Structure 1
Amino acid sequence: MSRMITYFTDVSSRFGVKPKEAERFIKFLVVGGIGFIVDFGIFNLLLDPANALVMPGTWFFNLLAGFGFSEYFITHLGPTIAASISFVAAVCSNFLWNRYWTYPDSRSRSRRRQFTMFFIVSVVGVFIRIPIVFFMTPIFRSLVENVSALQAYSTRLADNLSLAVAVLVVLFWNFFANRYWTYNDVE
């Protein structure tokens, strides 16, 4: 791991990036990888129960339908619900790893205040993420359903693809917002 970080910092310095910032970015990516595993693991554990929750005839479906939401909207909420819960778990994991490994020199703020800042950045990230998951899921479902070899896995694969797109987009928001706000006390 340290060889990879050294190589990346050497290459980055040729483009004017400070070696310490390049090292932090690599560590942030590793932490993000751990968060990705937490996120996708919990997402997949919750996907079936969340989809069952929004099926026509369930109390939750009837509740939302009573508020005037369309059947299409309600039945596509399963992945969004699972993604929201898995997101919170990944945020907690990422905060701990980033505070103690990526930014160990960031101690001028209390853990509570820093977590609050980290969580605010992450909540903005979830507001970026949820619409991506919601709108990409039906697109990926229709694309994957047309591949006969994937039909048995089409829904789950499509749901995971939509989450992957959202995670990739939010990665950059999280890094820069956390670096320049949550961890701005680090040189």
Structure 2
Amino acid sequence: MNEGRPLRDRLRGVAREAAKFGTVGAFGFLVNVVVFNVCAQVLGLAPIRSGVIATSAAICTNYVGNRYWTYRHRDRSGRRREIALFVLFSCVGMVIENGVLALSHYGLGFTSALADNLAKNVVGLGIGSLFRFWSYRTWVFRRASDEREQPAHPVGSAAPR
């Protein structure tokens, strides 16, 4: 894929991509936490139902941020495929984060609002985010075919910011 680029450049590119992914994720995290707590604490919905609603809202927010900022330079030719895979991998991430919540709340009996938030929005979301980062960059937002064959920027030119 990027065999022509030095390791340092490839690592710098992944670090830049991870930082953008993290920024989009931070906004999605805020959406997730606010919606989760409104559903669970204000509306009195069950923890897992609140988690699924909150994660669904964050998935929509994150798709827009990732498609139009983090991975804007990636291939856009297969939009249906991209959206289907994004939803699939996001749902796997949702199962991961809400599975941690279910284990904590129902399996271990930690039922306070703080325990639910820590289980879902710290532990579960952290594990789910690692999975999402890997799957989005590997399967969803693929490199354009011409980007695979050429370096990101010619030798001697400045890297785009």
TM range (shorter): 0.7 to 0.9
Q: Does residue 34 of the first structure (1) align with residue 27 of the second (2)?
A: yes
Which residue of 2 is the match for residue 160 of structure 1?
Answer: 117
Query: Which stretch shows the higher mean deviation, 40-49 or 132-141?
Result: 132-141
Which residue of 2 is the match for residue 176 of structure 1?
Answer: 134
Q: Secondary structure at the match of 2:56?
A: helix
Runs of 4 or more, structure 1, over 6 Å off, are none
**For 1:183 and 1:40, how far apart are their aligned partners in 2?**
26
Give structure 1 stretches of 5+ with no counterpart: 1-11, 52-77, 143-154
Which residue of 2 is the match for residue 130 of structure 1?
Answer: 98
Provide, for residues 87-107 of structure 1, a one-character-per-residue CA deviation record: whole Å limited to 9, x for no partner.
011001001000111011123
Q: Does residue 18 of the first structure (1) align with residue 8 of the second (2)?
A: no
Which residue of 2 is the match for residue 141 of structure 1?
Answer: 110
- Code of the residue aligned with 2:15 in structure 1: it is A
Q: Is the 8 A contact 2:24 2:65 kept in 1?
A: yes
Structure in which a larger fraction of residues adopt helix: 1
**For 2:48 and 2:99, how far apart are their aligned partners in 1?**
9
Query: Percent identity, aligned pairs only?
Result: 29
Which residue of 2 is the match for residue 81 of structure 1?
Answer: 49
Q: How far is the alpha carbon of 1:31 from its aligned partner?
A: 0.7
With CA pairs under 8 Å and 6+ residues apart, which has the higher RCO, 1 or 2? 2
1:72-111 correspondence to structure 2 within 5 Å: 78-111=46-79
**For 2:118 and 2:10, how far apart are their aligned partners in 1?**
32
- Code of the residue aligned with 2:110 in structure 1: it is R
Q: Is the 8 A contact 2:71 2:141 kept in 1?
A: yes
Count of paired positions: 136
Which residue of 2 is the match for residue 47 of structure 1?
Answer: 40
- Code of the residue aligned with 2:138 in structure 1: it is Y
**For 1:41 and 1:140, how far apart are their aligned partners in 2?**
23
**For 2:28 and 2:36, how far apart are their aligned partners in 1?**
12
Give structure 2 stretches of 5+ with no counterpart: 1-6, 149-161
Q: How far is the alpha carbon of 1:183 from its aligned partner?
A: 1.3
**For 1:182 and 1:118, how far apart are their aligned partners in 2?**
6
In the superposition, the TM-score normalised over structure 1's length comes to: 0.66
Q: How far is the alpha carbon of 1:162 from its aligned partner?
A: 1.1
**For 1:181 and 1:133, how far apart are their aligned partners in 2?**
27
Q: Secondary structure at the match of 2:68?
A: helix
